[in-house]
Structure 1
Amino acid sequence: MAIREDVLVVGGGIAGATAALAAAESGATVRLLSHKKSTLRQASGLIDVLGAIPRDGSSDGADPAGDRSPGDRTEPAGGGSTGESELVADPFEAIGRLPEAHPYRVVGGGAIRDGLELFDDAVGGAYEGAHTDRNALVITHGGTVKPTARYPESVAPGLASAERDTLLVGFAGLTDFDAPAAAAHLDAAGVPFAVDGATVEFPVRFRDDALTTRFAKALDTDESNARRRLADAVRDADADLDGYDRVGFPAMLGDDEGEAVRTDLEDRLGASVFQIPTGPPSLLGTQLEDLLFDALDAAGVRLASGNPAVGYEASDGRIDSVLVDRRGREVPYAAEEFVLATGGLVGKGIDSDRESVTEPVFGCHVPHPEDRYDWSEPEAFGGHAFARFGVVPDDDLRPAGESGEPEFENLRAAGGVLGGADTAREKSAAGVSLATGAYAGRRAGEEATR
């Protein structure tokens, strides 16, 4: 017998979590299916809505954000462009400059605000940025500045827009953050503050392959007086520490007790302390995943994880159930409405071989050039077609077939599985997931409970 809910969401990333929360708000019973751990653990933990407009993009000039005069336009943040993209100061003023097929153009600015509101409610005071539509400028571990809409509270003291002299501190042996090199890059970029870098030994010795969480837990428990010894090491590395207003560390300053760790270090160093988002494995990304799943639990969303969705059952143009492979046995999960949020090429929500590009769960149409050589551009950072591969939604986010008609009446898609956006170049991945997840989940909940 099939397990039945009002709404079934397939996919456990930001889009899936947002869709499930939005559906639950409507009063629907909701189940979220997640195969593996989400890609959030590989992400920075920042919430980017729209940080850049690729210069090879196009638009018909329509403005789905609403209430914008034709004279309004996006102002570059931080001096103009990055690579072949123009930085965006206010994402809502820039939506109209995106291509018509972009998911933001389908759902409109209101859905972006709905998604951000859901996110803000889910994470509580753990994130900042809700006070303004404008992007903040966050220092990255590579010594660049990234426009983002929401950022962890522990990152906030290090915003690049604040004219506060800064010392960056890295740990010897952790090669993904070279503090002196990052400081030099920021200085060369002309940030409005003095910036220097120093490398110190982490106060507790671990194996070379120790996880980021091991360093964080050592500071949580103050293992071997780790906090005092870390502060002493920073002072030994820079005798003129009193000349800095703030000190930035890679994001491993505690996990469960992160606020206490930073407060202790601030007292010892006499300066504000902030975290710098790092590459994978990302502690900030893992913490964001925990916050979202805590919110799902509080909303009464049922979770089923560890087994892949491998197919579906349908009749009369409607999906009846999703089939999940449980140790070689296909178990049906039935619902009135479904949301596909399995991610893009990276998350395996879109699959490809040398001949074709496919959506593996429901077999939805994914348009792509017949010639595989047309999937990419010669330039490494060019406008690659593969970056925009995904299902094509109608105006209700239902995946459409080649004819343009919805493939299934009760299926909507959200997040990276949608085509039409180059989210890496646009710095828009989380925002697309929030906006489309909120829209798809709300519509699924409304249809299931009416």
Structure 2
Amino acid sequence: MAIEADVVVVGGGLAGATAALSAAREGVHVHLISAKESTLRQASGLIDALGYPDPDGRSPPLANPYDGVDDLPDGHPYRVVGADALREGLALFDDAVGDRYRGGHTDRNALVATTSGRAKPTARYPRSVAPGLVSDDRDTLLVGFEAATDFDAPLAAERLTAAGVPFDVAGATIAFPGDYRADAAVTRLAHALERDEDAGNGRSTRQRLADRVRPHLGDAERVGFPAMLGDAHVEEVRADLSDRLGAEVFEIPTGPPSLPGIRLEDRLFEALDEAGVSMTTGNPVVDYETDADGDIDRVIVDRNGARIPYDADAYVLATGGLVGKGVESDRDGPREGVFGCRVPAPDDRMAWSEAGAFADHAFARFGVDTDERLRPLGSDGEPEFGNLFAAGGVVGGADVAREKSASGVSLATGLVAGRTAAEEA
């Protein structure tokens, strides 16, 4: 027996969640299918809109992401859906996450300090990150842990100083309170701070942490830790440590596993539930069937070997790009992995990349071509399916890593794909 909905969204990342929320707001029944954990769990939790429209390594970061949209090439997703879609996508995000994020009061990018000691332009950032903005001129102490080896606080402080930040910044590496291995899981350390258990000599984890930080504090008015200050109760941990240190505590976004990314994923799935979106997780779409007109009639989900059909009037493809495995590649070329949609690429494989890890690589822009309604196009320039709409990393034309635009592309295309799918339904 088939599971029915008006719109089926394939993909559970930021683009898929945005498309599902956008469609649900149009009053249709939406079902979201996610084959695996979202790539949000590996992401920083920052929401980048557009940091560098011409990412040649020489241009300064954009103060206002909307100012750079017209400078992008014609095939860029922002040029396809328009700057208003980005603005509306960010507004939908703001509504979904509530006061957990900052940045919605302005069109301007903020500069957030990263664990590598860089200043990253971003449009939205977690509340726990806000006190650490580079535009803030308060003197700062960065603190790393011997048990969390992916953040070298003294090196990050040195790089920020060299970049000319408007404050004094120092870095210190200390032992995390309690008995932890040098490669202890970030989640384990976060839970220790959240539970605030006895860490020895009758003193709690937070007490001992504050005691170890205090000798390094100097004149610093704020203290940055890697983003591991608890899971569900990060604000409680931050407030307690701030009170103990007499300086405002903030988080610095880290690489995977990313607690800010996990927190964001949790909140988005709560928002989907509140919007009435039904969900299937942990089971991949493995096939599809078409109707007499060649449109998608149903998708087939593999559930422990059983083939379960999902019927809808319209579908949104939001499976990600090369990183998210929504776009696959072999010696025959790249292709979209669920519906086999065309992914344009140079015939000469040597032209897929350039010399240098951070060069302007063609493969970074691989994805489906779309029309203005975000329907994937075949080699003849016509939609491959009349009722399939694409969103996020599976849409080609953007080098999101160099542009710092990944989240914005997901929000803008997710908003439009969800809305147009609802209209089709």
- Normalising to structure 2: TM-score of the pair? 0.97
* Rounded Cα–Cα distance in structure 1 between residues aligned with 2:120 and 2:247: 23
1:51 corresponds in structure 2 to 51
- SS of the residue aligned with 2:48? coil
Deviation at 1:275, TM superposition (A): 0.3
1:228 corresponds in structure 2 to 207
2:38 corresponds in structure 1 to 38
1:381 counterpart = 2:358: yes
Deviation at 1:379, TM superposition (A): 2.1
Deviation at 1:53, TM superposition (A): 1.9
1:117 counterpart = 2:91: yes
1:436 counterpart letter in structure 2: T
After the TM superposition, which residues 11-160 of structure 1 pair with which residues of structure 2 at under 5 Å, given as runs?
11-55=11-55, 83-160=57-134
1:215 counterpart = 2:189: yes
2:51 counterpart letter in structure 1: G
Which 10-residue stretch deviates more, 418-427 or 310-319?
310-319
* Rounded Cα–Cα distance in structure 2 between residues aligned with 1:339 and 1:417: 11
1:441 corresponds in structure 2 to 418
1:408 corresponds in structure 2 to 385
CA separation of 1:55 and 1:182: change in aligned 2, threshold 3 A: closer
Which 10-residue stretch deviates more, 406-415 or 320-329?
320-329
State whether residues 53 and 86 of structure 1, in contact with CA within 8 Å, keep that contact through their aligned partners in structure 2: no
* Rounded Cα–Cα distance in structure 1 between residues aligned with 2:134 and 2:80: 33
Deviation at 1:151, TM superposition (A): 0.1
- SS of the residue aligned with 1:331? strand
1:79 corresponds in structure 2 to none
- SS of the residue aligned with 2:266? helix
Deviation at 1:204, TM superposition (A): 2.1
Cα displacement string for residues 383-420 of structure 1 (whole angstroms, at most 9, x for unaligned residues): 10000000000011000000111011100000000000
1:166 counterpart = 2:171: no
- SS of the residue aligned with 2:5? strand
2:22 counterpart letter in structure 1: A
State whether residues 10 and 16 of structure 1, in contact with CA within 8 Å, keep that contact through their aligned partners in structure 2: yes
1:302 counterpart letter in structure 2: S
* Rounded Cα–Cα distance in structure 2 between residues aligned with 1:287 and 1:53: 29
CA separation of 1:178 and 1:209: change in aligned 2, threshold 3 A: closer
1:175 counterpart = 2:175: no
Match among 409, 413, 419 for residue 432 of structure 1: 409
2:13 counterpart letter in structure 1: G
* Rounded Cα–Cα distance in structure 2 between residues aligned with 1:433 and 1:335: 22
* Rounded Cα–Cα distance in structure 1 between residues aligned with 2:37 and 2:3: 22
CA separation of 1:416 and 1:220: change in aligned 2, threshold 3 A: same
1:245 counterpart = 2:241: no
1:358 counterpart = 2:335: yes
2:284 corresponds in structure 1 to 308
* Rounded Cα–Cα distance in structure 2 between residues aligned with 1:289 and 1:274: 20
Q: Aligned-residue CA RMSD in angstroms?
A: 1.1
Deviation at 1:55, TM superposition (A): 4.8
* Rounded Cα–Cα distance in structure 2 between residues aligned with 1:216 and 1:354: 44
- SS of the residue aligned with 2:312? strand
Percent of aligned pairs sharing the same letter: 65
After the TM superposition, which residues 252-263 of structure 1 pair with which residues of structure 2 at under 5 Å, given as runs?
252-263=228-239
1:59 corresponds in structure 2 to none
Instruction: Give 5+ residue unaligned stretches, structure 1.
Output: 57-82
Which 10-residue stretch deviates more, 241-250 or 192-201?
241-250
Match among 311, 324, 333 for residue 310 of structure 2: 333
State whether residues 49 and 149 of structure 1, in contact with CA within 8 Å, keep that contact through their aligned partners in structure 2: yes
- SS of the residue aligned with 2:134? coil
State whether residues 148 and 184 of structure 2, in contact with CA within 8 Å, keep that contact through their aligned partners in structure 1: no
* Rounded Cα–Cα distance in structure 1 between residues aligned with 2:67 and 2:139: 32
Deviation at 1:209, TM superposition (A): 4.2
CA separation of 1:216 and 1:161: change in aligned 2, threshold 3 A: same
Deviation at 1:360, TM superposition (A): 1.4
1:164 counterpart letter in structure 2: R
Deviation at 1:355, TM superposition (A): 2.6
* Rounded Cα–Cα distance in structure 1 between residues aligned with 2:5 and 2:183: 43
**How many positions carry a matched residue from both structures?**
419
State whether residues 36 and 281 of structure 2, in contact with CA within 8 Å, keep that contact through their aligned partners in structure 1: yes
Which 10-residue stretch deviates more, 420-429 or 217-226?
217-226
Runs of 4+ in 1 over 6 A off after TM superposition: none
State whether residues 204 and 223 of structure 1, in contact with CA within 8 Å, keep that contact through their aligned partners in structure 2: no
2:386 counterpart letter in structure 1: E
* Rounded Cα–Cα distance in structure 1 between residues aligned with 2:254 and 2:300: 37
Cα displacement string for residues 182-230 of structure 1 (whole angstroms, at most 9, x for unaligned residues): 0000001111110000111111223444321111111111111011100
State whether residues 33 and 305 of structure 1, in contact with CA within 8 Å, keep that contact through their aligned partners in structure 2: yes
State whether residues 307 and 325 of structure 1, in contact with CA within 8 Å, keep that contact through their aligned partners in structure 2: yes
Cα displacement string for residues 45-87 of structure 1 (whole angstroms, at most 9, x for unaligned residues): 000000112356xxxxxxxxxxxxxxxxxxxxxxxxxx25542
Instruction: Give 5+ residue unaligned stretches, structure 2.
Output: 199-203
* Rounded Cα–Cα distance in structure 2 between residues aligned with 1:396 and 1:445: 12
Deviation at 1:89, TM superposition (A): 1.0
* Rounded Cα–Cα distance in structure 1 between residues aligned with 2:23 and 2:48: 23
Which 10-residue stretch deviates more, 197-206 or 32-41?
197-206
- Normalising to structure 1: TM-score of the pair? 0.91
Match among 315, 322, 339 for residue 345 of structure 1: 322
* Rounded Cα–Cα distance in structure 2 between residues aligned with 1:310 and 1:146: 38
State whether residues 110 and 122 of structure 2, in contact with CA within 8 Å, keep that contact through their aligned partners in structure 1: yes
